[in-house]
Chains A and B, each alone.
Chain A
Amino acid sequence: MNDTLKATEEQMAYAKLLDIGMKLGMLSLVVTFILYVFGILTPHIPVSDLPKYWSMPVKQYLEATGIHPGWAWLHMLNRGDFINFLGIAFLSGVTILCYLRIIPILFKKKDTVYAVLAIIEVLVLTLAASGILRGGGH
């Protein structure tokens, strides 16, 4: 393969950060799940009670368990079930970090259109992550 076939600078930067982020996210997911499932950290919902809740629609589940949606889990990280959200949030957020990584590269290369596209994508994903948008429940 000759040099012209190498992925672009921004593509490589994106890939490297994604690789690190994905591995960190997976690792934290596994570690926090072990803390949860082996009872090292006490969960908000006892695991033996879970079958009572997992067949409920989400709105009913939130009401029955007293869980607040959005980023409220950040205040419950001492609970075995909620600490798992660290890994989940990290995996769901790593793409935003990758986009932030390539924006300066795109501007440096004067690829303004793609830099703007990347900025808009960051805004879209940040809006989704913000918790402002709610599905309403049923």
Chain B
Amino acid sequence: MSGKNSKIMSLAVILVVMMLAAGSVFASGDPAAATAPAAANSTMPWWGWPAILFVVTFVMGIVAVLGGVGGGVLFVPIIGGFFPFHLDFVRGAGLLVALAGALAAGPGLLKKGMADLRLALPVALIASSCAIVGAMIGLALPTNVVQTALGGTILGIVAIMLMAKKSEYPDVPQADNLSTALRISGIYHEVSTGQDVNWKIHRTPQGLATFIIIGVMAGMFGLGAGWANVPVLNLMMGAPLKVSVATSKFLLSITDTSAAWIYVNNGAVLPMLVVPSLIGIMLGSLVGVKILATTKPAAIRYMVIGLLLFAGTRALLKGLGIWN
């Protein structure tokens, strides 16, 4: 392992240690996942948790970039599992963290033609409508039910990350009728090979139907949804991998907008939780991008999978009242 990878692994170890430390400081006895204000009994000054949150999200931002995942998918299970904040506020903050990341990346991806507006618009309409439903369900269900379902979902994401293959240029023999009617196709310039890549998609109705589920889950858990968007756009609908990744990132800016409003309007947004997280994860992402340019973090992906496995198990057991 190179020196740089060792440093990155050290960052991840720090993240895990901080998570565990946070979890042990805030060892609530309530199986309903911190419905009691146990943090009020803590001797830590009020700024302690936001400060730890900033440091953890900064490291998370680095790890997320290197692991090829969005910040939201790490944020909700880790902060929800190991910090004193109620899951309602964590999901609201998770959505805003994912939204801010998508808004920041969106303009560049659109201008370069990597994200495709024609592909995104129909998908976004379905996903954002369903994210509203998901957010309302999430805020109406008991916390332990959401926590348990979140744990199951995170473990499912781990399975997807381990098993799902990626296809740089999927074989699409013929565009389907719907994508033809909507004129969803394009050309993008592949810098690494210097080639212009023509692409089209198929199985559009099935793909759009899948975004009903993705939208509901994004709104319900505040996870962002890149982990689901990319396999559906790439493997099911046949968009090239880079177009899928870029369009997925852009899509989050629309899907998470609708769900974020539901959390804002229901009072589930705490600026003291949102702003340090957002700044921490964005600064971490900037550092992560710089590290990414000079390293090959193949092992980091497995480390992220390990982190998610741990956080997902924690969320599941916390929801079930086994590990509080």
Seen from chain A, the residues whose Cβ lies within 8 Å of a Cβ on chain B are: 1-2, 4-8, 10-12, 14-16, 18-19, 21-22, 25-26, 29-30, 32-33, 36-37, 47-58, 60-62, 67, 69-71, 81, 84-85, 88-89, 91-96, 102, 113-114, 117-118, 120-121, 124-125, 127-131, 133-138
- Contact status B110-A15, CB under 8 Å: yes
Known contacts A26-B100, A120-B125, A124-B128; decide if A58 and B89 are in contact (CB<8 Å): yes
Known contacts A92-B260, A133-B265; decide if A30 and B279 are in contact (CB<8 Å): yes
Contact of B261 among A16, A19, A36, A92 (CB under 8 A): A92
A-B contact pairs, 13 of them (CB 8 A): A14-B110, A18-B106, A18-B107, A36-B272, A47-B46, A56-B86, A58-B88, A61-B267, A70-B265, A95-B103, A124-B128, A138-B142, A138-B143
- Contact status A91-B139, CB under 8 Å: no
- Contact status A1-B189, CB under 8 Å: yes
- Contact status A135-B140, CB under 8 Å: yes
Question: Shortest CB–CB separation between residue A122 and chain B, in angstroms?
Answer: 10
- Contact status A6-B267, CB under 8 Å: no
- The secondary-structure label for the interface of chain B is helix
Task: Please give, as numbers and ranges, the residues of chain A lying within 8 Å of B274 by CB-CB distance.
Answer: 84, 88
| Chain A: CB-nearest residue to B140 | A136
- Contact status B125-A51, CB under 8 Å: no
Instruction: Kindly state whether residue B27 has any CB partner on chain A within 8 Å.
Output: no
- Contact status B267-A69, CB under 8 Å: yes
Instruction: Please give me the 10 A-B residue pairs with the lowest Cβ-Cβ distance, nearest first.
Output: A135-B139, A84-B271, A15-B110, A19-B107, A128-B261, A69-B267, A136-B140, A58-B88, A131-B265, A22-B103
Known contacts A51-B46, A55-B39, A85-B264; decide if A133 and B107 are in contact (CB<8 Å): no
* Size of the chain B interface, CB-CB below 8 angstroms: 78
- Contact status B121-A118, CB under 8 Å: yes
- Contact status B275-A29, CB under 8 Å: yes
- Contact status A58-B139, CB under 8 Å: yes
Residue interface bits B235-274, CB-to-A below 8 A is 1, else 0:
0000000000000000001100111111011111111111
Known contacts A57-B143, A134-B266; decide if A91 and B99 are in contact (CB<8 Å): yes
Contact of B139 among A8, A26, A113, A136 (CB under 8 A): A136
- Contact status B86-A55, CB under 8 Å: yes
What's the A-B contact tally at a CB cutoff of 8 Å?
A: 219
Which of B30-38, B160-168, B286-294, B306-314 lines the interface with chain A?
B30-38
Question: Shortest CB–CB separation between residue B18 and chain A, in angstroms?
Answer: 18
Which of B5-13, B61-69, B129-137 lines the interface with chain A?
B129-137
Task: Please give, as numbers and ranges, the residues of chain B lying within 8 Å of A62 by CB-CB distance.
Answer: 267
The distance in angstroms between the C-alpha atoms of A11 and B143, with both chains bound, is: 40
- Contact status A55-B110, CB under 8 Å: no
The distance in angstroms between the C-alpha atoms of A91 and B24, with both chains bound, is: 35
Question: Shortest CB–CB separation between residue B105 and chain A, in angstroms?
Answer: 9
The distance in angstroms between the C-alpha atoms of A60 and B118, with both chains bound, is: 43
- Contact status B110-A51, CB under 8 Å: no
Task: Please give, as numbers and ranges, the residues of chain A lying within 8 Å of B254 by CB-CB distance.
Answer: 95, 121, 125
- Contact status A15-B188, CB under 8 Å: no
The distance in angstroms between the C-alpha atoms of A73 and B187, with both chains bound, is: 45
- Contact status B182-A113, CB under 8 Å: yes
Contact of A124 among B99, B132, B278 (CB under 8 A): B132
Known contacts A7-B110, A84-B271; decide if A125 and B136 are in contact (CB<8 Å): no
Task: Please give, as numbers and ranges, the residues of chain B lying within 8 Å of A95 by CB-CB distance.
Answer: 103, 253-254, 257
The distance in angstroms between the C-alpha atoms of A84 and B88, with both chains bound, is: 18
